[in-house]
């Protein structure tokens, strides 16, 4: 029921009576239906994505929230950003804002709102404004190269980002440092039905002028590129052409030279062309299956970009060289192996390009050595995902979210209750689920799923996904958060949705089914030349 002050429901869930799951969800729904998308739990802000533009942002609201304390106005992400900045500026305490949630919940938009709010209230002046503009303009560049349309989100972050914004003693920004991790590089060569590759490919083809396309030897039509999903080349609400111009402008503001921008686009176009390299069956003189490149023009253009002639590049894609102290052995690859090698090259070139872009941004926004500074960190990672077909990368994403959930539990529940005990404060103990048992299931260095996967990938002889699954079934037959057909049958829990070749992990955010990694990881690892395993992936 609406309250007398115009608010709806309970603005701080700590005050909710009774505080149970049903009443909590009902309160969030009531507020959401009245377009109140923010609700507090103490100093935590819950945001329910409205999937529409609401008139609750901009200069008017920034001016309002900067003049009030955390609880004086309606719950808002500006209030959170304001209290973090004030604590940093006035109390000399470094801050970190952790943004977590499912894919499509609005984490990236929340991080941009935090940054825009802090930029608006943290001082003025030519030098300060230049630093603020560089920090803000890093967003469109990183989104172009690191975001993509997925089934659940038209602008989904496909990488993790942690940004440290550094301030002087007065609270004016000096610069920052961006750390990126877990770029979903498999998206470069393969996308699920209804999804797109990274934005930059579509932006380049839609927004580049005729002269630039000619220089890059590209065609504007997306249907000519095997790495681009033809079903969804355009997305409602996204203007790829104008976004490309915005990315070019943002790179210039950050400090990229014209030559650097051109080189970035050349490497981007090279990745597109790699997908069109056709590998054909060939046979060696002794009849052994081999492979060769069918598309001479494409391989020549790629070679010109990377400084190799066509013969060298074809040899690199269609053979593998093993070198020992005594000899060098060149082994021809069959068509499937050569395709893996081509795709592995495309993924790694794009991944290194993305790392280079992040490092180049950091060069422009870094703070000089020796300057005394305060730090505000903003963490934005891609969210927990439950898909119909979950790859190894989804597993790593969900594992990362599981670890963040553990940090959240420790900071908001475990540490608070331990402090009550230390100080002898009367309180009613709050029971909560400690998800450390799920993290341990995945990460234990001897008996965890990752350790078992490494062992299976590196084992010589006949190994398969079946042997990997059999080992997991044996190790975790009685684990409360591991399920497979075998373990369910043993416990007389029959589930017809479970196949014989898969297993499920009962994560904090739901059950997720996994299958078919080992063969994929081993084949790709061999194509990349590291023999197998998950280390460094």
Catalytic residue annotation: 103-104, 108, 153, 156-157, 383, 385
Report whether 383 contacts 413 (CB < 8 A).
no
At a CB cut-off of 8 Å and minimum separation 6, what does 199 contact? Answer: 143, 144, 145, 147, 148, 149, 155, 238, 240, 243
DSSP H/E element including 143: helix 126-146
Q: How far is CA 53 from CA 32, 255, 290, 345, in A?
A: 14, 31, 56, 40
Q: Which spans in 238-334 are helix H? A: 240-254, 258-274, 296-306, 310-318
Q: How far apart are CA 383 and CA 158, in angstroms?
A: 9
Got the DSSP string for 62-117?
HHHHTTS-TTTSS--HHHHHHHHHHHHHHH---EEEEE--BTTSSHHHHHHHHHHH
* Closest alpha carbon to 76 in 90, 63, 91, 94: 63
Report whether 283 contacts 289 (CB < 8 A).
yes
Rg of the chain over Cα atoms, rounded to whole angstroms, equals 26
Report whether 46 contacts 11 (CB < 8 A).
no
At a CB cut-off of 8 Å and minimum separation 6, what does 517 contact? Answer: 391, 392, 395, 453, 465, 468
Q: Is the peptide bond before 18 cis (omega within 30 degrees of 0)?
A: yes
Q: What crossing angle do the helices spanning 449-458 and 436-443 adopt, rounded to 10°?
A: 10
Report whether 90 contacts 66 (CB < 8 A).
no
Torsion of CA 370, 376, 378, 379, to 10 degrees: 70
Q: Distance from first CA to last CA of the chain, Å, rounded?
A: 51
């Amino acid at each position: 029921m609406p309250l007398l002050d115009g608010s709806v429901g309970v603005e701080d869930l700590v005050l909710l009576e009774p505080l149970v799951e049903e009443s909590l969800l009902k309160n969030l729904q009531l507020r959401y239906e009245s377009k109140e998308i923010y609700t507090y739990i103490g100093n935590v802000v819950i945001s329910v994505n409205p999937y529409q533009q609401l008139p609750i942002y901009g200069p008017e609201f920034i001016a309002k929230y900067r003049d009030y304390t955390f609880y004086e106005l309606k719950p808002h992400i500006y209030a959170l950003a304001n209290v973090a900045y004030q604590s940093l500026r006035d109390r000399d305490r470094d801050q970190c804002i952790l943004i977590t949630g499912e894919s499509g919940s609005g984490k990236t938009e929340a991080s941009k709102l935090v940054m825009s709010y802090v930029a608006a209230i943290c001082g003025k002046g030519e030098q300060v404004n230049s630093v603020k503009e560089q920090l803000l303009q890093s967003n469109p560049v990183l989104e172009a190269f690191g975001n993509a349309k997925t089934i659940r989100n038209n602008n989904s972050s496909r990488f993790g980002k942690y940004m440290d914004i550094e301030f002087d003693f007065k609270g004016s920004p000096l610069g920052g440092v961006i750390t990126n991790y877990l770029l979903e590089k498999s998206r470069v060569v393969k996308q699920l039905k209804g999804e797109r590759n990274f934005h930059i490919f579509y932006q380049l083809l839609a927004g580049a002028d005729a002269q630039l396309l000619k220089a890059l030897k590209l065609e504007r039509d997306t249907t000519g590129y095997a790495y681009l999903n033809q079903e969804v080349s355009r997305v409602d609400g996204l203007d790829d052409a104008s976004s490309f111009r915005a990315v070019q402008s943002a790179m210039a503001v950050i400090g990229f030279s014209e030559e650097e921008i051109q080189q970035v686009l050349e490497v981007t176009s090279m990745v597109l062309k790699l997908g069109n390299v056709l590998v054909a069956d060939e046979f060696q003189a002794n009849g052994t299956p081999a492979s060769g490149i069918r598309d001479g023009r494409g391989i020549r253009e790629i070679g010109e970009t990377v400084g190799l002639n066509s013969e060298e590049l074809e040899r690199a894609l269609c053979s593998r060289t093993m070198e020992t102290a005594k000899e060098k052995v060149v082994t021809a690859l069959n068509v499937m192996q050569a395709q893996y090698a081509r795709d592995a090259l495309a993924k790694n070139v794009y991944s290194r390009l993305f790392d280079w872009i992040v490092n180049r941004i950091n060069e422009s926004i870094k703070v000089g050595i020796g300057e005394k500074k305060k730090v505000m960190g903003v963490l934005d990672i891609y969210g927990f995902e439950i898909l119909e077909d979950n790859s190894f990368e989804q597993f790593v994403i969900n594992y990362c979210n599981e670890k963040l959930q553990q940090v959240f539990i420790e900071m908001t529940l475990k540490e608070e209750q331990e402090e009550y005990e230390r100080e002898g404060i009367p309180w009613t103990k709050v029971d909560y689920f400690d998800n450390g048992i799920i993290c341990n299931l995945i990460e234990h260095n001897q008996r965890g799923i990752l350790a078992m996967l490494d062992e299976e990938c590196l084992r010589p002889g006949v190994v398969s996904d079946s042997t990997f699954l059999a080992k997991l079934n044996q190790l975790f037959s009685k684990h409360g958060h591991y399920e497979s057909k075998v373990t369910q049958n043993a416990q007389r829990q029959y589930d017809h949705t479970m196949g014989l070749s898969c297993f499920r992990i009962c994560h904090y955010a739901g059950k997720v089914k996994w299958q078919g990694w080992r063969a994929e990881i081993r084949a790709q690892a061999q194509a990349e030349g590291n023999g197998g395993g998950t280390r460094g992936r």
